[in-house]
Amino acid sequence: MDPLKRAITNDDMLKLLKIIEKLRVLDLEMPAQVVASFLYVASHDGCHSVALQEDLDMTAASVSRNTTWLSSHHRSNKERGLNLITKEVDPSNRRRHILKLTVEGRKLVKDLQSTLYG
């Protein structure tokens, strides 16, 4: 096999690569924890930040940093916020946030689903 021909040997892995590349278009330096946080919210829309923290085994600081990156703000550059989720204070416990997809986040989910399932 000539490696320069770039023969596809696993279609499922190619789909995952395409998903990652679609996310990298949003931010070339997006860490895996940010990707995982987005996919968690996309699959648990309306979840609490504590659930994300526990289920993905992240620290509270990591969850805060990652979800802020996914929201309309970014800690180091306000222009870099991805606006894919919202963080709303939970009225029953002001230390927790409720995480929801934005319109842009739902559009991205549909695009990713289209890549996965056609």
The closest of 102, 100, 106 to 87, measured between CA atoms, is: 100
pTM score > 0.85 for this model? yes
Look-up of token digits 């606006």: 83
Q: 31-65 pLDDT, tens per residue?
A: 999 999 999 999 999 999 999 999 999 999 999 99
- Domain ranges, ordered by start, for the chain: 27-117
Task: Evaluate whether 58 touches 38 at the Cβ level (below 8 Å).
Answer: no
Q: Which residues contact residue 95 at a Cβ distance below 8 angstroms, ignoring those fewer than 6 apart?
A: none
The domain 27-117 is placed in CATH, from the list 1.10.10.10, 3.40.1190.20, 3.40.50.620, 1.10.760.10, at 1.10.10.10
Q: 68-115 pLDDT, tens per residue?
A: 999 987 665 566 689 999 999 999 998 889 999 999 999 999 999 999
- Which DSSP helix (H) or strand (E) runs through 22? helix 11-26
